[in-house]
């Protein structure tokens, strides 16, 4: 009987059942009676040993987030990934790009006057009021620690004059950084049409951000107290809970909306090695932290043991979000062709075109004038109530 599951691991529950059923072990032609107490001890040792051997194993089913990437920071090599090129909502991880552009375009000491647009932004907010004067550095702390949406908009206006013009800079920067599957529509990550990123692109963005000591300092800060030019104090606490529990963590940026679910990108350092972990679409904040720590350890173990990279693509996540990817299409070519054929037929029927498409032996063939098409036209006329 084969006691291995789909991942090739032994099913311990089946193994235990079979071993208990075997009360005697045959050695040559003789029988060796096994004491039940000794057998139980033997099985517990086996179970513990086997469990320890799997501590560093991460299977696609173990990662509940829709997409994840573990990247070696020094080289950009992917160490582990689940759906790395699946386009998903970025939520407030967007603010990392906002901070990068602000740091490159203006000075930290520049003073910004808060416009009437900033307080109107949806929560989370730092609480800036129209007319407040704050430095770029203060806005960066508010945007990256508290994930303040008003601070992100204030940064956008300070750099480009308007958020709309700033978004152009964001997408231009994304293209220059090689983020091929990323598009921004605002400076704070609030949901909207056609806004997306991938776990792979998010990892690249964090890798780029690590170039700047100031950004590393801010995202690694637990709490900060800042103030406006008139002395109004603001207390900021980092939304990244792992800063209080993981000594290896350099820092990171969280994100959450109902549609995007929980998102996070971070960097960790151990023994002169740095790994980046990006997670998108995690079902809960607790799961987000657990998976981040698991993947950080996984990345360092792969580097230490010089293991091969592991990349998964889960059909369920792509299908659920109606997303496609090149390598995914390659592995599921027939399904994609069938979907294209179905969509093409539907479009043709909507527009009343005279061509019908049928699927046969994996190819699409066109029948313009034959009995099937005549029957199809007659049926459509009947459905539409046309008699002429």
Give the DSSP H or E segment for 32.
Answer: strand 30-33
Extended strands (E) in 165-243: 223-227, 233-237
More confident residue, 340 or 73: 73
Residue 216, CA distances (Å) to 96, 139, 251, 289, 325 in order? 11, 15, 7, 20, 32
Q: What is the total residue count of the chain?
A: 388
List, for residues 70-111, the tens digit of each pLDDT value: 999 999 999 999 999 999 999 999 999 999 999 999 999 999
Per DSSP, helices labelled H in 232-355 are 285-305, 315-320, 326-331, 333-351
- Alpha carbon distance 71, 79 (integer Å): 5
Model confidence at 346, pLDDT cuts 50, 70, 90, reads low
Residue 326 has pLDDT above 80, yes or no: no
Q: What rounded mean pLDDT belongs to the chain?
A: 78
- Alpha carbon distance 237, 99 (integer Å): 17
Three-state DSSP class for 245?
coil
Residue 226, CA distances (Å) to 133, 134, 145, 193, 239 in order? 12, 9, 12, 34, 16
Residue ranges covered by each domain of the chain: 12-53, 66-328, 333-384
CA end-to-end span of the chain, whole Å? 69
φ/ψ (deg, to 5) at 319: -65, -40
pTM beyond 0.75, yes or no: no
- Alpha carbon distance 99, 220 (integer Å): 14
Q: Does domain 66-328 have CATH number 3.40.50.720?
A: no
Distance of CA 187 to the CA centre of its chain: 19
């Amino acid at each position: 009987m084969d006691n291995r599951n789909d991942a090739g691991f032994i099913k311990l529950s089946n193994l235990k059942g079979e071993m208990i059923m075997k009360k005697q072990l045959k050695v040559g032609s003789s029988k060796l009676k096994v004491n039940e107490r000794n057998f139980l001890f033997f099985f517990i040792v086996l179970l513990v040993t086997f469990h320890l051997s799997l501590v560093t194993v991460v299977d696609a089913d173990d990662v509940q987030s829709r997409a994840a990437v573990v990247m070696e920071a020094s080289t950009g090599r992917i160490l582990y990934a689940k759906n790395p090129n699946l386009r998903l909502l970025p939520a407030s991880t967007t603010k990392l790009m906002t901070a990068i552009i602000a740091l490159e375009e203006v000075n930290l000491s520049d003073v910004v006057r808060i416009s009437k647009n900033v307080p109107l932004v949806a929560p989370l907010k730092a609480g800036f009021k129209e007319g407040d004067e704050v430095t770029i550095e203060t806005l960066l702390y508010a945007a990256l620690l508290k994930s303040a949406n008003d601070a992100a908009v204030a940064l956008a206006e300070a750099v480009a004059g308007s958020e709309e013009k700033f978004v152009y800079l964001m997408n231009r920067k994304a293209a220059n950084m090689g983020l091929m599957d990323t598009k921004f529509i605002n400076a704070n990550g609030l949901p909207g049409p056609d806004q997306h990123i991938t776990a792979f692109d998010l990892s690249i963005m964090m890798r780029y951000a690590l170039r700047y000591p100031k950004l590393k300092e801010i995202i690694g800060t637990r709490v900060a107290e800042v103030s406006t030019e008139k002395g109004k104090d603001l207390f900021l606490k980092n939304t990244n809970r792992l800063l209080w529990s993981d000594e290896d963590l350099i820092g990171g940026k969280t994100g959450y909306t109902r549609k995007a679910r929980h998102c996070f990108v971070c960097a960790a350092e151990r023994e002169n090695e740095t790994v980046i972990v990006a997670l998108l679409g995690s079902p809960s904040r607790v799961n987000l932290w657990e998976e981040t720590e698991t993947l950080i350890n996984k990345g360092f173990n792969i580097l230490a043991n010089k293991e091969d990279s592991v990349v998964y693509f889960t059909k369920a996540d792509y299908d659920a979000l109606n997303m496609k990817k090149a390598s995914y299409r390659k592995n599921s070519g027939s399904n994609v062709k069938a979907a294209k054929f179905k969509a093409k037929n539907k479009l043709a029927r909507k527009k009343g075109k005279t061509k019908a498409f049928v699927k046969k032996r994996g190819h699409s063939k066109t029948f313009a004038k034959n009995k099937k098409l005549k029957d199809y036209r007659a049926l459509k006329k009947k459905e539409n109530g046309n008699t002429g």
